[in-house]
Every structure is written in C-alpha cells, then in structure tokens.
Structure 1
Amino acid sequence: MDRETMSFDVVVVGGGPSGLASAIRLKQLRPDTSVCLIEKGAEIGAHILSGAVIEPRALDELLPDWAESAERGEAPFDCPAREDRLLLLTRRRAFRLPLPREMNNHGNYIVSLGVLCRWLAARAEALGVEIFPGFAAAEVLYDGTGAVCGVATGDMGVGRDGRPTAAHTPGVALLARQTLFAEGCRGSLSAQLGDRFALRRACDPQAYGLGLKELWEIPAENHQPGLILHTAGWPLPSDTYGGSFLYHLGTNQVAVGYVVALDYANPYLSPFEEFQRHKTHPAIADHLRGGRRIAYGARALSEGGLQSLPQLTFPGGALIGDTAGFLNVPKIKGTHAAMKSAMLAAEAVVRALDEGRVEALGYTPAFAASWLHKELHAVRNVRPSFRWGRWAGFAYAGLESVVLRGKAPWTLRNRADHLHLGKAADHRPIDYAKPDGVLTFDRLSSVYLSNTNHVEDQPCHLRLKDPEVAIATNLAVFDAPEQRYCPAGVYEVVREGAAEPRLQINAQNCLHCKTCDIKDPTQNIVWTVPEGGGGPAYSAM
C-alpha cells in the first residue's frame, strides 16, 4: 500500500508546551500559513507530566489575554503560588533553608501541565492549526538536497513479527517547508537529526534527571492551597544530586514528586524506591496522611543547561523546547523556557518562509539576544557544580546566586550520564523496604495508575543493538541496573532452572520516560516510538 501524502507549510512534532506555543505563534504572525501538529499520545496532554509551577513570562508574550481567560474560568490558572518552603532533610528531621532568589515563586501558578496543554491546543485550533493526536512521527523525510522535508508517521497494525496484520494501515507522509521538533526530552527523531547534521559537535553532552510524580487526594484539613515545598538531602546519598517537590493544588490534591540526576554512580540505586522511601519522612508523610494516591507517572528531564544546548537549526527544521534542552534547573522550571524557545523559532521560521530560505537561521541569534539566554547563562554553573557532592554544590550555588550572578569567567562542563555508572563490585546493594500500600507502593500498581496501554501485537519499541550485551556485560558487570533505574518494571532478568539468565522486556509497561536510552551503561538500549496512541494516558499530571 502506498503512503498517503499531505503537505503543509510547517509540521510540528509534539503536542507539549513548546510545540503548541510554536504553532500558535506561527498562526499569529502569518495567518495563512498551513500548520499541522502531530502528537504520539492518544490525546493532547496524555504524555505530559511535570510538577508543575509555571512562570507566566512567556505566556504573557504569547497570549496576553490569558489572565482575563483565567478570571472567566476558561484557563487553568486557579491556584497562585502563596508560600515557598525549602527544607534540608535528615533521616528524621527537617531544617528550613533560606530560599534562593531563583526559587521565589511570587507571581507564579501551580498547574496541571496536561490541562494547560489541552487549553493551548484549543487556542491553536481556533487559529486554524490542524492537530492530529495518536500519530507517532517515526521517520524523518529528506529531499534531494538532503534537507528535512517533513516526517512520516508509523504504520498501524504491524504484528510483533514485523509483518502487516489484517488491521494494517500505512503511515502518512507529512511534507513541510519547515519541520519543528518538539518531541520532549531525548526525542528519538531528534537524536537521528543530531547525528546526521552533527548538531552536538560544539556542545557538551546533555545531562538528565529522572522525575517521578504522584497525585494524591488529601483530607481538607491537610490542604494548604498554593503551598510550594522543595527538599534536598535524605534519602539520597550526598554524592547524588536530586530532591523533591510537593505542591498543594487548588482542589484537595497534592502533587508529590522526586527527581534523581542520572549521573549517579551506584548501579544498585533505584530512583523509584528512593521516591517511595522519601514519602515516609515525617515532613512529607504529614501532608499525605489520610489521603489516597490517584495517579502516577515518570519522565526524564534535560538538566544540562546552556552548555549542553545543541545547534538549534538545520536545513528544513529546528529543535525547540525540552528536545533541545531548555530548562532552568536552579529555578526548577522549564515550561516558560520551552515556550519562549518555540516562539523564537516560530518567528525565525516565518522570516525564512517569507524569504524562501531553507534554514531558519535567525532562530539562534534571536535566542542569544533574548531574556531566555540571559537567564540560562546566569545559572549555567549551578547544576554541574553538584558533581563535587551536595555540600560543595550548595556552597558554590550560594556563591553564584549571591556574588557571581552568572558572571564567572568559566563554564563548568557536563559529561554523559551513562559514563558515571560504576561497576557492581565497587558498590554495595541498597536494602529497600517492602511497600506498605499506604504511603509506599510497588512499580506495577503504580504503572496501573498511569493508565499505560500498548497494543501487545506490535514490534517491541525498546531495541537492543546487541542482545548478548544485556547478560554478558550489563548483568555480569553492572548487575543489570535497568531493573532498577526503570520506573515501570519494563526490564526483568529471568532465571529459569539451570538455563542461562535472560533479559525480558515488558514493553507494554513503558511510560516513555526514556531513562533506559539515557542511563544504559553500554548504550545498548534504543528507545523508538511505538504505535501511535500507545503509552500512558495522564489526565491531569
């Protein structure tokens, strides 16, 4: 069967904040531009997960009437930030820390990012953007000159053996003069583009964190709308960067989460178990007591900062949002950065379309002259300073925040996360307690709350470059860390009698967090898109 072909001026890959912001900006500036946005989730917001506290600076520029919409109850900004707390945790105690200026949330809002994206999608559609959820971009298309000319969505109805089933439907070729890649963190197509156009030749490797989140309903007497709580310290060891967030939403709900930097060394460490252990601390448990967990999810975060941003443009397209790595780690925010980068890219694309140029070269200098570049430049050394350990990192972060203000004549470098993982023989196993079903839970019951679903009869989207490496190296040298760093129980070493152990991949559990693609010590695991519409179905995360 031949592929159907559709042509547009611009195709946007990804329905998160950056993808939607770029589509809106394109139609604002050039209303006759035909814009198509595709999203691999079953609906807009299905794969979106964040804390989230949003700084509305970019939103002010994109949609200046958002506040009026919120007053009418049409926009999801009903919970302004009211109080910030920063705690340092020991095993049983909590110490209040002075709040760095970057973490001051005055004027910000606690939101569900999925709900925000659905609101942005409605605004985009009202401007004429064509939005197609449930379609996964599986292939980059190139023209005769080697420039990107669009993407192709994956075939539907392909069996596990790779052969078409009776339900087979070919993918669609979406041709475009410009294609914006807003795939989120560690996008599979963006990685291919990086290799083809050498987009990372002049930057540091990206650094990542794994964020885990639960949504709880709590008793009214425990609820403090607008409270924003962050912690550092226990249970993570001092040589591992990470911390927690706890946000009281406008309803009787609390978003509680944990972020672990993926440059940790101990292969026995499990970010999921560290998160469960964290909730038992009295300073956290008191907020959750008497409540019930109603949702769970996980995703990777791009933490490398300014020095890890790749080249942003190439013939026929550009990288935007978390795909490129626009996140302010000390501020613990990325939505405003993702949206601003998308707006800058859209403005450059409009100029390229008007001038008949194949590359939106104005995007990079526009970013360099923007408030976003200034913001990221000022904090570029904070995250990498924690490679020296928690206490040295705190000391340096204080120096940057109070004295240097980003004006240091040096830039600290990043190193690929998988290179930091140590051998099992050099580390001690960690004894994690069994879940109690009240505050702490296992992976499988957690995945159930994410509403994750994949068509079972499809090719496995988690591929091993060399299947032998999983046992010969990952298990033998690192004790199969994929069993612990995956927050969904996808990877399992199975031992049956006298037979040799084998790695079982439970791909139907996959939350699309991309951690395996990032942290695998041999870089043997490759994450690719499954059939469109598969994966988690977050409703309000």
Structure 2
Amino acid sequence: MERESMEFDVLIVGGGPSGLAAAIRLKQLANDAGRELSVCLIEKGSELGAHILSGAVIDPKALAELLPNWQADGAPLTTAVTEDRFMFLTKTGSFQVPDFAMLPALRNHGNYIGSLGQLVRWLGTQAEALGVEIYPGFAGSEVLYDDAGRVIGVATGDMGRLHDGSEGPNFQPGMALLAKYTLFAEGCRGQLGRSLEERFKLREGVDPQTYGLGIKELWEIPKEKHQPGLLMHTAGWPLNQSTYGGSFLYHYGENRVAVGFVLGLGYSNPWLSAFEEMQRYKTHPVVRTHLEGGKRLAYGARALTAGGLQSLPKLTFPGGALIGDNAGFLHAARIKGTHTAIKSGMLAAEAAFAALSAERRQDELSDYPALVRSSWLQSELHSTRNFKPWMSKGLWLGTLAFGIEQKLFGGKAPWTLRNQADHLKLKPASHYKRIDYPKPDGVLTFDRLSSVFLSNTNHAEDQPCHLQLRNPAVPIGINYEEYAAPEQRYCPAGVYEIVRDGEPATPRLQINAQNCVHCKSCDIKDPTQNITWVAPQGGEGPIYNEM
C-alpha cells in the first residue's frame, strides 16, 4: 500500500517513561551541541498516560539524572514514603517483617508514591517544551525495513477497517514514519518488539522472559483513615505457598489508596484467577480496614516483565533498539520499573546521538549495551538476578534462599539461576480441584464487567479483532478439553468466554475484544501460544486518568 510518509532523525514508539526519557535526553544533547535534531514519539493510547498503569512507588534517581530540577519544575511526585511495611499473611492473621530483617531491595526510604500516568503526562510537557513532536492515538502496527533488512521506521495502523478487513466508509491508511534510528518503547510484551526479537533472533542464548499480571484499583477513603506515605507489601494468603505473587497498598495524594495484586504468570493451576484472588485479598482484616468506608474510583490490569538480567534480549539490531519494559528492564525484586525504564531510555538516546553525530544511520547502536553494562542499571539488576527463579520455587524456600543470598553474598553470589517460560508451566485441569471463589458483594469486592467499566475501555466493535487465533480449533480442542478454558480466568477483563450453542449445546470460544484492557496476559499465558495480541486502532483501549 502506498502510504504518506514523514522522516525524522529518531523515531520513538511508545510514550511511557523510557520513550519520553529517550526523547528528552536526545533533545538535551542536541541543544547542548547546538545542532538541530528531529525527534518524533508516537503513542497508541488516546493521550499520554492513557495506557500507563503502575503501583506506583518511584525511585527518583534516574529522574534526577534526566531532569535535575524535577521538583521545582512541578513533577507530580509529592508524597514521600514515610512508613514501609512488609507482611506475610495467613487466612486470618499476619506477621510483619521487623525492620532489621528487611532486605535492601525492599526498603523505600527516599522514594515517592504517586500516579505514573500523571508523571508521564508531565514528562510529555517537558519533552514538548524541548521540541519533541508527540502524536498520541497512533499505534505502530508494522516495522519497516530497507532492502538490506535494516529497520527504517514503522507504519502506523490503518483506521476504519471493517471486521472482515475491508475498507469501511471512514477508512484512512496508516502513515510510514521513517527515521535514521527507531527506539521501541512499547512496554511489556510489545507487539513490534516481539516481532523484532523473532526476526533478529534477539533471544538466542538468553533465558525466556517471565511475567507477572498486576491488577490495580484506586480508592478514595475517608480522610481520618488516610495515612500519606504509608506503604505496605504482602506475600502469602490468598495464594498457596507454591504460587508466586504478592500485593501492594499505598496511601498518597488526596485521600487516595492504590491497592493491587500481582500474580506470577508461571503458576500451574488452570483454575486460578488473578482477578478473583485480588478480590479475596481485599477481604483480609489487615487490608479491609484501609478500604472500608471508601469508594473504588478506577480499575486496571497490566502484565509486567519479571525475568531480570538473564532474560534480557540482545538490545540492538540494525536501525534501532529496545528500551524500557519492551526489553525487560523492570526490577522485580524492588517491585519497580520506572527508574530503570528512564535510565535505559537515556542510555539509548546517548548512543543514538553519538551515532548521528558521527553521520551514521541504521546501523547497530553498539554503544547502548556497552553503556548499560557500565551503569548502575546493570549492577542493580545483577544484584537481584536470582529473585524470580528463587521465588518460583515456593514462598518459604524462595524467601529463605533469596534472603541468604542477599544477606551473605550482598547480591554477588557466584551462581545465576535460570528462568523458564510461563506458558509451559500450566498443568491439566484434572490435576487440581476447581476453586470456588465467593461472589462479589459490590462494596469491597466486585465482578469483572463493573471493573472494566471503571477502566474507561473503548473499542470500535466493527474492526478486525486484535486478539488473533493462530488455529481456531485450539481453544476448544486443547484449552477447553485439557485446561478447562483457562483464558476465562487469566484474562482480568472478561474478554474470553465459553458459550454453548445449538442442540445439543456445543461449546465455542467467544472473544469480547471490546473489553480488552491491553494487559497482554493472554498472549503470555496461553498454554499453546495460540493467541497473538496486536494493537487495535490507535486511541482505543483503556484511559487510566490517575493510575
């Protein structure tokens, strides 16, 4: 298809912390050198921050490196952590880890609680002030290559195609955005990043990436209950000791509480539901006391990378690089990814600027991985590289082994444990007893559809389905027969539904794509890897105003 095109020095795909940090750093370097540099950033959400979801406790060290005057310039991080609790939960009780036993990775002194979406919007204003061209509502749908196989940019998605793929009355073709270098900052399990990993074999010789599914609710609570700066993490109930996961509860802002649950997607029981476990978690006495009398304001879900250093792919390829969570820089042991995303974006920007200054284009940015290796980003991830492999062995064994490794070896243990792909760990439903989750009360616990409503999710219904099945026979022939249709449970938005038609009633998979909150858990956890998530029309999906 003939597309209109635009050309830039650097194109950035994704408007999260890493993408915006890269854009800002590029412009800073260009201004310092007194040269012109065209930088374009596209974001698939309807606005910057629309698809951003995080706890979020933010270590400001990378932000301070990028924008030293971030506080004076009004960055929306005003609630400093004042109290740090880590608790192990049983069904009715709890045990708080004493301060002397807290591992350095779990300490949050000097960090801030806030909305990552609001921080991203503020970073956008800083980028635009420097001259970055930002285009929200444009999804990168295809990587573009030259005849030599080098990345030369991306094509944005077509608008107005009908369900069968034909051109509707309001059809508009996507644009070709061309650049000397393209940085991919799509976040966890990015569609284009995944295709680049396959084309350039970026995962050869490294461990599979592992993931968690994070589910978050934002509450407004009575003023007398609000404790600004209180931070609480938990492990244990409602999960059993063999299943990796945990929770967070943060007090910040104006009577706001962020409450969330993270389930490692390497679980084996197909009856398990992250959404229902999150709802059960809120009924624990330690948790419900914070929320009772409050009102739920927002809901969202997002997958996050957790494999650490040994699961990082090769970062570069001819014409570009992976940055942020698109590469897997999240620091799972610290439950943080913003500072590592910002740092990776800054380092990639420095490598790209050096290449452009040397009049290079569309080659490999070899300086970028070298800069990562010599930075605090590498040393921080290296010190806790065994966190996820240890925790995948069970709560008590993992906690004990990781604690010993950190306390005795200071993160410098002479061994590196391996990661395994999450989808390979699911076992047949017949191996487990079905979990009967309690019905929601509509006050403290809720159902999926009322939750999705609070995510402000919207998709045009008459467009090609963005949740694609490689083989339409697999959902019933394998997933339903062997695993009791686990997509109904690992999806936190009610996208996948088994319905029965005809006489006699036969099951079929119905995909309610309009409910999708873009968490990517289906793309990750499907046991046969039969589901592929691709971007719908630009500007669609959730709108997370304060998340």
- Tell me if both proteins adopt one fold, taking TM over 0.5 as the criterion: yes
Equivalent positions of 1:88-237 (< 5 A) are 88-98=88-98, 99-237=102-240
Select 1:462's aligned residue among 464, 467, 483: 467
Indicate the RMSD between aligned Cα atoms, in angstroms. 0.8
List gaps (5 residues or longer) in structure 1.
Answer: none
Q: How far does residue 409 in structure 1 lie from its aligned partner after superposition?
A: 1.4
- Is the contact made by 1:352 and 1:359 (CA closer than 8 Å) also made in structure 2? no
Which whole-Å deviations, capped at 9, do the CAs of 1:158-208 have from their partners, x for residues lacking one?
Answer: 000110111001101000000000000000110100010000002100000
95-104 vs 346-355, which deviates more? 95-104
Which whole-Å deviations, capped at 9, do the CAs of 1:111-165 have from their partners, x for residues lacking one?
Answer: 1000000000000000000000000000000011100000000000000011011
Do residues 39 (structure 1) and 51 (structure 2) align?
Answer: no
Do residues 508 (structure 1) and 508 (structure 2) align?
Answer: no
313-322 vs 94-103, which deviates more? 94-103
List gaps (5 residues or longer) in structure 2.
Answer: none
- Is the contact made by 1:300 and 1:515 (CA closer than 8 Å) also made in structure 2? yes
2:90, 2:327 → 1: CA distance? 35
1:469, 1:247 → 2: CA distance? 41
Which whole-Å deviations, capped at 9, do the CAs of 1:424-468 have from their partners, x for residues lacking one?
Answer: 111111110000001100000000000000011100000000000
Match of 1:498 in 2: 504
Equivalent positions of 1:419-458 (< 5 A) are 419-458=424-463
Match of 1:75 in 2: 75
Select 2:396's aligned residue among 374, 391, 415: 391
2:373, 2:128 → 1: CA distance? 30
- Is the contact made by 1:471 and 1:502 (CA closer than 8 Å) also made in structure 2? yes
Partner of 1:30, secondary structure, is helix
Which whole-Å deviations, capped at 9, do the CAs of 1:315-337 have from their partners, x for residues lacking one?
Answer: 00000000000011111111000
Identity of aligned residues (%): 64
Select 2:484's aligned residue among 470, 479, 500: 479
Equivalent positions of 1:321-332 (< 5 A) are 321-332=324-335
Q: How far does residue 499 in structure 1 lie from its aligned partner after superposition?
A: 3.6
2:175, 2:211 → 1: CA distance? 32
Match of 1:64 in 2: 68
- Is the contact made by 1:351 and 1:360 (CA closer than 8 Å) also made in structure 2? no
- Is the contact made by 1:18 and 1:342 (CA closer than 8 Å) also made in structure 2? yes
Which whole-Å deviations, capped at 9, do the CAs of 1:469-516 have from their partners, x for residues lacking one?
Answer: 110000001111000000000000101241421000000000000000
Residue correspondences, number:
537
Select 2:419's aligned residue among 414, 419, 429: 414
Which whole-Å deviations, capped at 9, do the CAs of 1:191-245 have from their partners, x for residues lacking one?
Answer: 1000100000021000000000000000011100000000000000111111000
Select 1:51's aligned residue among 49, 55, 72: 55
Match of 1:282 in 2: 285
Partner of 2:433, secondary structure, is coil
1:491, 1:388 → 2: CA distance? 30
1:369, 1:472 → 2: CA distance? 50
Select 2:536's aligned residue among 510, 518, 530: 530
Match of 1:304 in 2: 307
Which whole-Å deviations, capped at 9, do the CAs of 1:81-108 have from their partners, x for residues lacking one?
Answer: 1110011100001111132221111111
Partner of 1:43, secondary structure, is coil
Q: How far does residue 275 in structure 1 lie from its aligned partner after superposition?
A: 0.2
Superposed structure 1 runs of 4+ greater than 6 Å apart: none
Give the counterpart letter for 1:466 in structure 2: N
2:449, 2:71 → 1: CA distance? 40
Give the counterpart letter for 2:508 in structure 1: R
Give the counterpart letter for 1:516 in structure 2: C
1:254, 1:303 → 2: CA distance? 24
- Is the contact made by 1:91 and 1:234 (CA closer than 8 Å) also made in structure 2? yes
Match of 1:517 in 2: 523
- Is the contact made by 1:75 and 1:116 (CA closer than 8 Å) also made in structure 2? yes
Q: How far does residue 388 in structure 1 lie from its aligned partner after superposition?
A: 1.7
Give the counterpart letter for 1:521 in structure 2: P
Select 1:376's aligned residue among 364, 373, 381: 381
